[in-house]
Amino acid sequence: MGNIFAGHTNSYHGFTFEQALQGISAAGFEYAELTAVKGWTEHLTSDMSDAELDEAKSLMAKYGIKAISLSGHCNLFDEQRLDDFRKNIELAAKMGCKYIVTSTGEAHFGEEEAMNDDILVENIKSLLPALEKSDIILVMELHGVYCKGEDMARITRAVGSPLVGVNYDTANVEFYSGISCIDDIKTCVDQVKYVHLKDSHGGKGVWNFPGTGNGKLPLKEFMEYMDSNNYAGPYSIEIEYTEDYCMRDKDQPGDIDVADKEMADAWKYLNSLGRV
C-alpha cells in the first residue's frame, strides 16, 4: 500500500532530541513522529523560538529525517488545554507535519478522565478552524477510558470531519481493555487515519512494550487486515519498554543502547515482512 513507516521520538523518552533522531535514522527510518508532550517528552515545545525550531530542523536534516506527525497530547476536556493544543497544531505545521496526535486526556500524569462524548465532540469541533488553517489532520489515540476502537470511532463519526480520525494503537487497546487489536480493529477500521504499530508481551495492565516484532501481538496479520481495507496512512513505531525503564532517568551506562536496539529490531522486523 506504500505506507510510510516512521520512528516515534517518544521511544526515546528521557533522551535528547538528537539522540532520538540518531537512533531512528541509524535503524533505517526516514520519517519520524516528533514529540511535544508537556511534562513528559518535550523534544519540542510550542513556545520555542523560530531560531530554536530552525535548529531542530537542522538536526533532522543532519540525520536525513522528515517529520510526518507531531505527538502533542493535551486534555481535550479541559478548556485551558484546548488553547495549548491549538499552539501544538501551529507547531506541527511549522515542522512540516501532516498529522497531530493526541489522546482524549493527558498522556501521562493527568487527572482521571470520565467518558463524556458531548463535551469531547464539541471541543474537537472547536479545533477544526485551526486544523483547517494549518492543513493538519487530528488523529485521536486509543488511550485511557477511550481505549477501544468503537469508543473512539463513535467520537470521530460524531465530529464528521475529514480532518479528524482515529490513531489506532495496537498495544493500548489490549493494555487498557484486554481485547486483541486483531478483533477490535474491525469495529473502527473505516475511521483509522494513523496507526501506532506498538508491540506488547500481552495482557491487560501489563506494561511491557518492546520493539515492534519483539512482542506477542499479531502485527503481521493486523497490517494484512489493514491492507485488505485499503489503509494507506502512516505507521508510527512507538516503543515504551518496561515501566521501570520507561519512567526512570536515563543515566545508566548502556541505556541508549537499549533504545537503539529495539528501534533497529523494529526496522528489521518490518524489512523481513517486505514493508520497508
51-80 pLDDT, tens digit per residue, is: 999 999 999 999 999 999 999 999 999 888
Residues 6+ apart with CB under 8 A from 115: 145, 146, 151
Mean pLDDT computed over every residue of the chain? 95
Domains, in order of start, for the chain: 5-272 (3.20.20.150)
Question: Is residue 109 scored above 50 in pLDDT?
Answer: no
Q: What is the pLDDT of residues 162-210, one digit of tens each?
A: 999 999 999 999 999 999 999 999 999 999 999 999 999 978 999 999 9
Contacts of residue 168, defined as CB under 8 A and 6 or more positions apart, other chains included, come to 142, 149, 181, 185, 188, 192, 194, 195, 196
Question: Max CA-CA distance within the chain?
Answer: 49
pLDDT tens column, 15-26: 999 999 999 999
The per-residue pLDDT for 47 is 96
Residue 36 predicted with pLDDT over 50: yes
- pLDDT value at 271 more than 70: yes
Q: Which pTM value belongs to this model?
A: 0.95
pLDDT of amino acid 66: 98
